[in-house]
């Protein structure tokens, strides 16, 4: 088993038993953590440990699939490494459309990945899926383009006229797959627009610009693995300052979409909002 990890400069080691966190600021039966170390045990999958923003250990349980191990390495463990580095991770997918760098946020099922795939299969530059790392360069928020694949459900693949044949499921028995994306950007991209997508059972598409405390709260709710922050006070303080700065520089819009709208129709409506026509 040679799982994939998004950061090439992280030492990734398979071990018999990962280390535990010394002096955790938070601990339960699932997680242990402090500012520089993180440990997690997932029943049926394995045990994981990350420290100092550059080391990861993992010990798969007997019979655990590579896909299940990668799911946690590329999710909770990846989030811990970013937090340890002081890199703000937001729960969103991102792309650049005609010079505009956009991040789509929202709860699971909002359409972040499917819309990002729809744009990128139609010429946009793919940046990230699900977890979007943000850094500040010359005082401006930038996205680090660290993803090279995107997670898509079978029905989304069908709408995008893509075949699931040969794709790797993210979890055995599920109809959600890793879809490889052409990795265009090598350098960071300045973030210009954020859309926070919600879903309604009925009604038409609506959009509302956010600013001030509403914009700040919307972004605060999108911090990836925000539940780590009580054990990482240094990161939390830095992030709050960064979120305030993002609200001053970036266009933030709340979108509510009908549940039954198709991916391609929603992509066209969103494109009008991005490009302003």
pLDDT tens readout for residues 109-145: 889 999 999 999 999 999 999 999 999 999 999 999 9
Q: Examine the domain organization and report whether 71 and 106 are in the same domain.
A: no
Q: Examine the domain organization and report whether 216 and 259 are in the same domain.
A: yes
Is the distance from CB of 176 to CB of 170 less than 8 angstroms? yes
pLDDT of 273 reads 94
- State the average pLDDT for the chain: 92
Tell me what the mean pLDDT of segment 76-98 comes to.
95
264-273: long-range contacts at Cβ-Cβ below 8 A with a sequence spacing of 24 or more?
264/118, 264/159, 264/160, 266/111, 266/115, 266/205, 267/115, 267/118, 267/119, 267/122, 269/205, 270/115, 270/195, 271/97, 271/119, 273/195, 273/207
Q: Examine the domain organization and report whether 95 and 151 are in the same domain.
A: yes
Q: Examine the domain organization and report whether 122 and 42 are in the same domain.
A: no
Q: Examine the domain organization and report whether 232 and 270 are in the same domain.
A: yes
- The H or E element containing residue 13 is strand 11-14
> How large a percentage of the chain has pLDDT more than 70?
99
Please say if the pLDDT value at position 1 is more than 80.
Answer: no
- The H or E element containing residue 236 is helix 233-249
> How large a percentage of the chain has pLDDT more than 90?
78
Q: Which of 85, 109, 131 is the last residue of a domain?
A: 85
Neighbours of 15 (CB within 10 A): 11
Please say if the pLDDT value at position 172 is more than 90.
Answer: no
Please say if the pLDDT value at position 54 is more than 80.
Answer: yes
Q: Which of 30, 56, 85 is the last residue of a domain?
A: 85
Write out the residue range of the structural domain in which residue 262 sits.
88-275
The token pair that represents 35 in the structure block: 């500012």
Tell me what the mean pLDDT of segment 185-210 comes to.
91
Total number of domains constituting the chain: 2
Q: Examine the domain organization and report whether 18 and 149 are in the same domain.
A: no
pLDDT digits (tens, 9 = 90+) for 247-273: 999 999 999 999 889 999 999 999 999
Please say if the pLDDT value at position 227 is more than 70.
Answer: yes
Q: Examine the domain organization and report whether 96 and 150 are in the same domain.
A: yes
Task: Work out the angle between the directed axes of helices 233-249 and 212-220 (0-180°, nearest 10).
Answer: 130
Please say if the pLDDT value at position 163 is more than 80.
Answer: yes
Q: Examine the domain organization and report whether 64 and 98 are in the same domain.
A: no
Q: Is residue 1 part of a domain?
A: no
What's the rounded Cα separation, in Å, for the pair 124 and 191? 15
Please say if the pLDDT value at position 183 is more than 90.
Answer: no
Q: Is residue 4 part of a domain?
A: no
What is the band of 37 on the pLDDT scale with cuts at 50, 70, 90? very high
What's the rounded Cα separation, in Å, for the pair 201 and 206? 13
Q: Examine the domain organization and report whether 98 and 77 are in the same domain.
A: no
Please say if the pLDDT value at position 32 is more than 90.
Answer: yes
Q: Examine the domain organization and report whether 52 and 100 are in the same domain.
A: no
Q: What is the DSSP letter of 229?
A: G
pLDDT of 162 reads 94
The token pair that represents 242 in the structure block: 């960064």
Is the distance from CB of 102 to CB of 95 less than 8 angstroms? yes
């Amino acid at each position: 088993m040679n799982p994939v990890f998004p950061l090439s400069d992280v030492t990734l080691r398979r071990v018999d038993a990962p280390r535990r966190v010394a002096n955790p600021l938070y601990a339960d039966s699932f997680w242990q953590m402090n500012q520089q170390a993180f440990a997690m045990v997932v029943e049926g999958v394995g045990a994981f440990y990350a420290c100092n923003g550059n080391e990861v250990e993992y010990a798969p349980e007997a019979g655990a699939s590579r896909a299940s191990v990668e799911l946690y390495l590329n999710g909770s463990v990846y989030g811990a490494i970013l937090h340890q580095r002081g890199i703000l991770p937001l729960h969103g997918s991102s792309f650049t459309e005609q010079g505009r760098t956009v991040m789509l946020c929202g709860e699971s099922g909002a359409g972040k990945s499917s819309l990002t795939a729809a744009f990128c299969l139609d010429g946009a530059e793919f940046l990230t899926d699900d977890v979007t790392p943000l850094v500040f360069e010359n005082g401006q928020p930038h996205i680090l383009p660290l993803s090279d694949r995107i997670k898509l459900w079978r029905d989304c693949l069908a709408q995008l006229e893509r075949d699931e044949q040969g794709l790797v499921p993210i979890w055995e028995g599920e109809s959600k797959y890793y879809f490889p994306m052409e990795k265009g950007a090598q350098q960071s991209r300045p973030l210009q627009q954020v859309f926070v997508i919600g879903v309604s059972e009925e009604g038409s598409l609506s959009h509302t610009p956010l600013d001030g405390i509403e914009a700040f709260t919307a972004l605060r709710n999108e911090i990836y693995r925000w539940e780590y922050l009580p054990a990482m006070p240094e990161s939390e303080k830095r992030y709050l300052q960064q979120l305030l700065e993002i609200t001053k520089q970036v266009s933030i819009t709340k979108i509510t979409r009908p549940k039954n709208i198709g991916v391609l129709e929603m992509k066209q409506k969103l494109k009008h909002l991005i490009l302003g026509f």
